[in-house]
A and B are shown apart, each in its own frame.
Chain A
């Protein structure tokens, strides 16, 4: 027993040693934590770098440099293939008003032609007759602020270049003027020549098309890929971009009704709205599948309306909720001759089977 009691007794630590141990322990723990943190940061940075590299390696082959000639000089921009038959998306500023296109692909230069250019969305579709890789189409709706994104472009006369950044916002207006649809503002550095470059999520899917830069080229705007797909869907169905139009002006109401401040101020004569039964003063709640809370919500709702389609419009009048089915007409901005280049109707882009044409919102 005496031996047991001897063993059970803890060995006495000298007071001075205990004092030193207590003093040094926090320092050692702090040091350990700092080292762990640095290691974790390095691992995180390495992981991000690896992801960006993977996206770049997978997507770079489908991104091409576009040459064209506009009325002033030769131009150079970026585009990317969206199907294996050589259809490619680019920005309107690259493929919209130029001609004599050629693309640099796989170390060679191929002729390309304009299939469609849509100034309202800011995008253009070109086509080259060669088998190509294609980028998968993603969903910009899944992005949030601070979501990391990658773009691959051809700045100046340099080779394909990856850029890494993050979504900074979803803007409907810039410098006091409203876009046709919500644009993605992305904090990643851009350079001249990168207009039309794909904006990719970290899965390598296209979620937007670079259309313009912001001040100092430190960030840029991208058209969401859904807008480009809507235009392509129109082209597949009708051979042209068909922006829809109901004929209603909307402004902000003093107080919200049923969560909406979008008050209809004018029903234009000779438009589908005039004969639909919708009245000025009605509060707009929903256009198609798009719910409306503010007048600005009308921009997205309007952009995705296709002329010829019937759009259900839900309003509240007094205490009564009403839904009108209105057949959209061609938007006034599209009533000039269609912005189609070479092919005639239905001579067009082969359908990509896994992406449906966008109809009404």
Chain B
């Protein structure tokens, strides 16, 4: 206030009273405002923009109503389902590729030695090829789901009565 006494302020007001914005200034004001806002946004890092958008979105949706327990559970289940789908799909594709690349393994090398019920067993000579060398690629070709390791807790059959 010491620098600007009342006379100086009055002089400035008088001067500014005659200043006018250029023609069309007020028509373009909103457009210009948005343009500058966008320019500022583009200068910010992407993560900050996304964060602000997310905050804005959550505020619009009234986030307090969404923070209930069932909603959280649902969200977790959806995420788990999406992730598990991703996990199970990828090895399946790998298996198909592996099977396609395998040669015909269990067939007899000799074409005449093909398994037929009519051919006597004594005349057939098998030269079985191993399916694969386990040291090479057993683990990479294994399915995503582990096999069922068998050892039941009850025997498979019982006798109904003492009869023979």
List residues of A whose CB falls within 8 A of some B CB. Answer: 67, 70, 72-77, 91-94, 96, 102, 104, 107-111, 119-120, 122, 128-130, 155-157, 174-175, 177-180, 183, 190-196, 210-215, 217, 220-221, 244-251, 262, 287, 295-296, 298-299, 301-302, 305, 342-344, 346-348
Contacts and interface: CB of A to CB of B under 8 A. Distances in A.
B115 interface: yes
A245 B128 CA distance: 40
Nearest to B135: A107
Given A111-B128, A299-B162, 4 more contacts: A76-B149, A93-B152, A174-B155, A214-B153
Given A107-B135, A111-B106, A298-B163, A212 B148 contact: no
29 contacts: A74-B145, A76-B148, A77-B151, A91-B150, A92-B156, A108-B130, A109-B133, A109-B134, A109-B138, A110-B128, A111-B131, A119-B156, A122-B156, A178-B159, A179-B159, A183-B155, A191-B149, A192-B151, A211-B156, A212-B156, A213-B153, A220-B151, A245-B164, A249-B161, A250-B164, A298-B163, A299-B162, A302-B159, A344-B117
A196 B161 CA distance: 27
B158 A295 contact: no
Closest A-B pairs by Cβ, 7 of them: A302-B164, A193-B149, A129-B126, A111-B106, A192-B149, A108-B130, A74-B147
B126 to A, nearest CB: 4
Nearest to A91: B150
Interface band, chain B:
35 or more
Contacts of A76: 147-150
B105, B132, B152: which has the most chain A beta carbons within 10 Å? B152
A305 B150 CA distance: 30
Interface in B2-20: none
Nearest to B113: A129
Contacts of B128: 110-111, 128-130
A73 B150 contact: no
B34 to A, nearest CB: 60
Given A109-B138, A110-B128, A305-B164, A215 B153 contact: yes
B134 A104 contact: yes
A107 B115 contact: no
A334 to B, nearest CB: 11
Contact of A67 (B121, B147, B157): B147
A210 B151 contact: yes
Nearest to B122: A347
A251 B161 CA distance: 9
B151 A180 contact: no
B162 A212 contact: no
Contact of B155 (A109, A179, A194): A179
A199 B126 CA distance: 30
A217 B152 CA distance: 10
A302 B130 contact: no
Nearest to A73: B148
